[in-house]
Amino acid sequence: MVVGAGHAGLAASHFLSARSIDHVVLERGEVANSWRRERWDSLRLLTPNWQSRLPGHRYGGPDPDGYMTMDEVVEFIEGFAKVSEAPVRTGVNVTSVRRAGDGYDVTTSHDRIHARTVVIASGACNRPAVPGFAGAVPPSPAQLTPFDYHGPDELPDGGVLVVGASATGVQLAAELRRSGRPVTLAAGEHVRLPRTYRGRDVLWWMDASGVWEQRYDEVDDLDRARSLPSPQLVGTPDRTTLDLNALTSMGVELVGRWAALRDGEALFSGGLRNVAALGDLKMKRLLATFDEWARPHDLDATVGERFAPTRVPEPARLRLDLRSGEIRTIVWATGYRPDYGWLDVPVVDSKGRLRHDGGVVDSPGLYALGLPVLRRRKSTFIHGIEDDAREVVDHLASHLAERR
Ligand SMILES: Cc1cc2nc3c(=O)[nH]c(=O)nc-3n(C[C@H](O)[C@H](O)[C@H](O)COP(=O)(O)OP(=O)(O)OC[C@H]3O[C@@H](n4cnc5c(N)ncnc54)[C@H](O)[C@@H]3O)c2cc1C
């Protein structure tokens, strides 16, 4: 049994079918539900179209260098479900999975199923991750997460504090600033990337140079790799770079990480300069890796372009009175987390993370797909699922064969 009909669950289904393993994919909503229900209106993929590839199914349209809108992503994933003839049951919520005999008893909103193996493909981003002190913020400003946010028209006029400077935070800060609102962005540790490097999409370099292929068992600090924020990228037709400098040029005010809340005041870390310098340094190192890779591959031996260091306000504000009316809305772009509330098997650690080794969960016959750096650095991306799903299903098949 596969939980979830996003691209990960469908990829699992593809390889299960290829091995003639009887299975069903249970989906509480519709195919590609997260892209339909949990994303904002203007979002486009930050991965280019040519990179949208699933087992036996790839983008074949006229704009390989473009970035899909949400409708296009849904169509692409639905197309995959159709060509792979995935046995999906939609509108079926899995409410409990518990160990029973040689497998698992699965309770759903409709019935009960006994499955010898279960693949958890329920997503890594089921809920927004919001810091505990959000509950103590004064009643005004309003608070939103990316799950409630659809577009700037739904927000009250006035200032917005966007918390978090990963892909979601920078994209929402830019959109809100363009709507004419004053925007403050609280930036902690972040991953800075230019949209293009040496004339190609930066993700082309990630792909070609093999950075994305690095396996989970070769990564020095796996916990850290698994909790890295998403890169500051946006997919726009004009391939703009959306780093902190771009936001500053648009008039967004940068402050440090929101560290605490005291007497109705947001207190920001004084480390903005340091995290910005670290982001610059890591970007430089990554671009140098691309340069090194380019040389023996006969790709223009000259060194690529260099990017100006991140500009940081001097001094950056350290506090902001949330009762003053300056900020009318807080947008928490502080990350996402999975939801395993339905999983009655003791395989989730105190931080809410699934205990697994490359997708082989710490309970026989239980597997996972679609989590950060599950088996490779590319694991959570659409193009990253094929290799992971093949290998996880290989393991699942040998588990079944052993039991037989
Ligand atoms: C804002 C955002 C932007 C992203 N942009 C990109 C991008 O540009 N390129 C890229 O490659 N990746 C991107 N990703 C990462 C990744 O591709 C997506 O998160 C993708 O949706 C993950 O696919 P999935 O199949 O693992 O999970 P999901 O797509 O979340 O699918 C999980 C499915 O499981 C279902 N489900 C969950 N719990 C249950 C249950 N108990 N019972 C039944 N069904 C259940 C859900 O309804 C859902 O349909 C982005 C992620 C986010 C959050």
Q: Examine the pLDDT at 299 and tell me if it is beyond 80.
A: no
Atom 29 of ligand 1 has which residue's CA nearest to it?
6
Where b means 16+ CB within 10 Å and e means fewer, 8-47 reads bbbbbbbbbbeeebebbbbbbbbbbbbbbebbbebbbbbb
Distance 239 CA to ligand 1 centre (A): 24
Q: Examine the pLDDT at 296 and tell me if it is beyond 90.
A: no
Distance 8 CA to ligand 1 centre (A): 8
Instruction: State the Cα–Cα distance between residues 230 and 219, nearest whole angstrom.
Output: 17
- Confidence (pLDDT) at 152: 98
Q: Which residues, 6+ apart, have CB-to-CB distance to 100 below 8 Å?
A: 114
Among 14, 30, 34, which is best to mutate for testing ligand 1, by the most ligand atoms less than 8 A from CB? 34
- Confidence (pLDDT) at 303: 66
In the structure, what pLDDT confidence band is assigned to residue 237 with cuts at 50, 70 and 90?
very high
In the structure, what pLDDT confidence band is assigned to residue 67 with cuts at 50, 70 and 90?
very high
In the structure, what pLDDT confidence band is assigned to residue 301 with cuts at 50, 70 and 90?
low
Percent of the chain topping pLDDT 90: 95
Average confidence score pLDDT of the chain? 96
Residues with CB under 6 A from ligand 1: 3-9, 26-29, 33-34, 39, 45-47, 93-94, 121-123, 125, 168, 336, 342, 370, 380-382
pLDDT tens-digit readout, 360-404: 999 999 999 999 999 999 999 999 999 999 999 999 999 999 988
* Radius of gyration for the chain, computed over Cα atoms and rounded to the nearest angstrom: 22
Percent of the chain topping pLDDT 70: 99
| 103: β partners | 100
- Confidence (pLDDT) at 343: 98
pLDDT tens-digit readout, 161-213: 999 999 999 999 999 999 999 999 999 999 999 999 999 999 999 999 999 99
Q: Examine the pLDDT at 336 and tell me if it is beyond 70.
A: yes
Q: Examine the pLDDT at 268 and tell me if it is beyond 60.
A: yes
Q: Examine the pLDDT at 302 and tell me if it is beyond 80.
A: no
Q: Examine the pLDDT at 53 and tell me if it is beyond 90.
A: yes
Q: Examine the pLDDT at 46 and tell me if it is beyond 90.
A: yes
What's the token pair of residue 336? 């996402």
- Confidence (pLDDT) at 370: 98
Give the H or E element holding residue 255: strand 253-256
Q: Residue 68 carries which DSSP code?
A: -
Q: What's the rounded mean pLDDT across residues 294-315?
A: 83
Atom 7 of ligand 1 has which residue's CA nearest to it?
45
pLDDT tens-digit readout, 128-147: 999 999 999 999 999 999 99
Distance 212 CA to ligand 1 centre (A): 19
In the structure, what pLDDT confidence band is assigned to residue 75 with cuts at 50, 70 and 90?
very high
Q: What's the rounded mean pLDDT across residues 249-259?
A: 98
- Confidence (pLDDT) at 297: 79
Look at residues 346, 88, 353, 74 and name the one whose alpha carbon lies nearest to residue 223.
353
CA of 382, closest atom in ligand 1: 11
Residue 172 sits at the vertex; the CA angle it makes with 222 and 270, to the nearest 5 degrees, is 65
Q: Examine the pLDDT at 277 and tell me if it is beyond 60.
A: yes
Determine if residue 96 is left, alpha or beta; phi over 0 gives left, psi from -120 to 50 gives alpha, anything else beta: beta
Among 58, 122, 332, which is best to mutate for testing ligand 1, by the most ligand atoms less than 8 A from CB? 122
- Confidence (pLDDT) at 403: 86
- Confidence (pLDDT) at 300: 65
